[in-house]
């Protein structure tokens, strides 16, 4: 869910943020991919620093404490950056050895007293992906020659804070101590308090958002904010997660729901009839079809039983990996985060356009360039890659088999955040192989909040975008297509019950 539906999320995000009435995407990264990314050597930087013009607007958050984080210019950004800050802030104000790297961009336009926090997932992937390729002011997408202004940036609505989280990810520094969501959430909120102190922020509304494995980060951080009982610095006002790992992931959110996604997209994936017949047989014999028939209901009739996929004893029922590897046979450029993409494989300025690791020859990974590190006040001696190794110490422990010992968010923290704020959005893209939409819905249907189990009514209200696509407006105009300004139309489905909004 990278660029395929970012117009719709801007709308639903605006609902979350209260501005309107009313893409590491998908699942968890394989350890092999993490290790390869960690070993990746940067190509030598050959592109010189470009400067930007003087900013016309006053700097709302610029002061003696923040000036060391102020970003004057960025390589390849030959336009006004606006007010922008980045660097490392310690978790403990009295100990600079452990800290989280952040990028902070205030709202473009009239100021608002709120902050929206954005986290990417993995675990172990950098939120600088969100900053550069998803919801930041600039966008440098796969195959794109240079960065451009993102017309759908969240900074058009709110102040945005991107954080590389937890310690060990990206430019964040220090020894990793992660064993549970509770522990790293406590560290995040200590960092966030220090951030507010430095930037002179108080009494702001706080929104916590993210995607993928951040489906675990977001509810635990938000619940930790509620624990602090401090409305001056932790006025939690809502939360949002895209394609999130909120329930039991290995069985319910992947294996049990992958076959319907394959059925719906056989024309894209290119599987032959005999292979699909084999998958259909496994879907039934392994109990996945019966599970969906029994539990994927609105309203749900019963609580789902505990499930867990054992990669050794359940190997014969591993539909997900069987289909995953077969997809590369029909499409060597297969992208599990956006299955509609076909060859050629596009270069990525962050070096990771899919589960394949690729940049155009001779082009360095952007955030690993020395001039970029210096401009962003990042540790120059630290090797940056989009996804590092798993930051959790327990490795194979916990419900996700990744060393994260905390319970799935649907069991306690996510219902708590929904009930406390009455403004939580869970969204899923329909072309995500890693985290199929049905799996996220199944997780919601096994969650009790507001005194009831799951959604009582099946989502059906359309998300309709009445504005034309703005991202390529200048291209259309320069090509003589000024009259092509039709609305984008129906982009998905939305639903709201008891403080929880769903969008797909």
Q: What is the pTM of this model?
A: 0.88
pLDDT confidence tier of residue 200, bands split at 50, 70 and 90: very high
Alpha-helix residue ranges (DSSP H) falling in 339-487: 370-375, 413-421, 437-444, 473-478
Instruction: Calculate the alpha carbon distances from 296 to 128, 300, 302, 449 in Å.
Output: 36, 7, 10, 17
Predicted local distance difference test score (pLDDT) of residue 352? 74
pLDDT tops 50 at residue 32: no
The dihedrals phi and psi of 259, each to the nearest 5 degrees, come to -60, -45
The dihedrals phi and psi of 477, each to the nearest 5 degrees, come to -65, -45
pLDDT tens figures, 369-424:
999 999 999 999 999 999 987 777 666 655 556 667 789 999 999 999 999 999 99
pLDDT tops 50 at residue 124: yes
Question: 415 — alpha (psi -120 to 50), left (phi > 0) or beta?
Answer: alpha
Rounded to an integer, the average pLDDT of 93-112 is 96
pLDDT tops 80 at residue 2: no
DSSP string, 19-35: SS-----SSPPPHHHHH
Domain with CATH 3.40.50.1820 in the chain: 7-250+392-503
Q: Which residues pair with 100 in a beta bridge?
A: 89
Predicted local distance difference test score (pLDDT) of residue 395? 60
Give percent of the chain above pLDDT 90.
Answer: 68
Residues written for the chain: 504
Q: CATH: 2.60.15.10, 3.40.50.1820, 1.10.10.10, 3.40.720.10. Which one for 7-250+392-503?
A: 3.40.50.1820
pLDDT tops 60 at residue 294: yes
Q: What letter would DSSP give residue 125?
A: B
Alpha carbon distance 96, 235 (integer Å):
26
Rounded to an integer, the average pLDDT of 198-212 is 98
pLDDT tops 70 at residue 26: no
Number of H helices, E strands in the chain: 14, 14
pLDDT tens figures, 218-257:
999 999 999 999 999 999 999 999 999 999 988 999 999 9
Q: Which residues pair with 426 in a beta bridge?
A: 241, 502
How do 114-119 and 159-163 pair as beta strands?
Answer: parallel
pLDDT tops 70 at residue 57: no
Question: How many CB atoms lie under 10 A from the CB of residue 494?
Answer: 22
Q: Which of 269, 400, 250 is nearest to 333 (CA)?
A: 269
Question: CB within 8 A of 42, min separation 6: which ones?
Answer: 364, 365, 368, 369, 383
Alpha carbon distance 439, 369 (integer Å):
39
pLDDT tens figures, 305-327:
998 888 888 999 999 999 999 99
Rounded to an integer, the average pLDDT of 35-45 is 41
Least confident of 15-19, 388-392, 431-435, 464-468: 15-19
Alpha carbon distance 90, 187 (integer Å):
10
């Amino acid at each position: 869910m990278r660029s395929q539906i970012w117009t719709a999320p801007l709308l639903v995000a605006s609902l979350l943020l209260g501005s309107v009435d009313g893409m590491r995407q998908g699942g968890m990264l394989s350890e092999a991919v993490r290790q390869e990314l960690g070993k990746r050597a940067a190509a030598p930087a050959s592109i010189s620093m470009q400067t930007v013009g003087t900013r016309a607007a006053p700097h709302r958050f610029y002061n003696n404490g923040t000036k060391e984080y102020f970003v004057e210019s960025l390589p390849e950004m030959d336009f006004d950056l606006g007010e922008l800050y980045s660097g490392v802030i310690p978790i403990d104000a009295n100990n600079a050895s452990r800290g989280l790297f952040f990028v902070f961009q205030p709202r473009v336009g009239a100021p608002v007293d709120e902050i929206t926090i954005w986290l990417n997932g993995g675990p172990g992937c950098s939120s600088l992906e969100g900053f550069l390729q998803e919801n930041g002011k600039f966008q440098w997408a796969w195959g794109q020659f240079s960065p451009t202004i993102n017309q759908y940036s969240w900074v058009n609505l709110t102040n945005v804070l991107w954080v590389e989280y937890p310690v060990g990810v990206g430019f964040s520094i220090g020894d990793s101590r992660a064993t549970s969501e509770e522990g790293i959430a406590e560290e995040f909120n200590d960092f966030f308090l220090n951030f507010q102190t430095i930037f002179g922020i108080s009494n702001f509304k706080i929104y916590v958002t993210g995607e993928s494995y951040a489906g675990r980060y977001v509810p635990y951080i938000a619940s930790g904010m509620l624990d602090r009982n401090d409305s001056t610095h932790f006025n939690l006002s809502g939360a949002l997660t895209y394609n999130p790992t909120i329930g039991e992931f290995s069985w319910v959110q992947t294996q049990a729901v992958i076959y319907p996604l394959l059925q719906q997209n056989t024309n894209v994936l290119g599987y032959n009839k005999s292979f699909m017949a084999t998958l259909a047989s496994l879907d039934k014999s392994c109990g996945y079809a019966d599970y969906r028939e029994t539990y994927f209901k609105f309203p749900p009739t019963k609580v789902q039983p505990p499930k867990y996929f054992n990669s050794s004893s359940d190997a014969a029922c591993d539909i997900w990996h069987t289909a995953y590897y077969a997809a590369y046979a029909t499409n060597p450029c297969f992208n599990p985060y956006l299955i509609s993409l076909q060859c050629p494989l596009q270069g990525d300025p962050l070096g990771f356009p899919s589960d394949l690791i690729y940049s155009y020859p001779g082009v360095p990974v952007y955030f690993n360039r020395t001039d970029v590190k210096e401009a962003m006040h990042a540790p120059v001696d630290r090797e940056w890659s989009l996804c590092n190794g798993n930051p959790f110490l327990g490795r194979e422990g916990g419900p996700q088999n990744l060393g994260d010992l905390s319970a799935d968010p649907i069991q306690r923290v996510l219902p708590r955040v929904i009930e406390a704020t009455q403004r939580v959005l869970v969204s899923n893209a329909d072309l995500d192989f890693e985290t199929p939409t049905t799996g996220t819905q199944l997780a919601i249907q096994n969650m009790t909040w507001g005194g009831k189990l799951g959604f009582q009514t099946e989502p059906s209200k359309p998300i309709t975008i009445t504005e034309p696509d703005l991202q390529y407006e200048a291209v259309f105009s320069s090509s003589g297509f000024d009259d092509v300004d039709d609305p984008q139309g129906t982009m998905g489905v939305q639903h709201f019950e008891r403080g929880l909004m769903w969008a797909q």
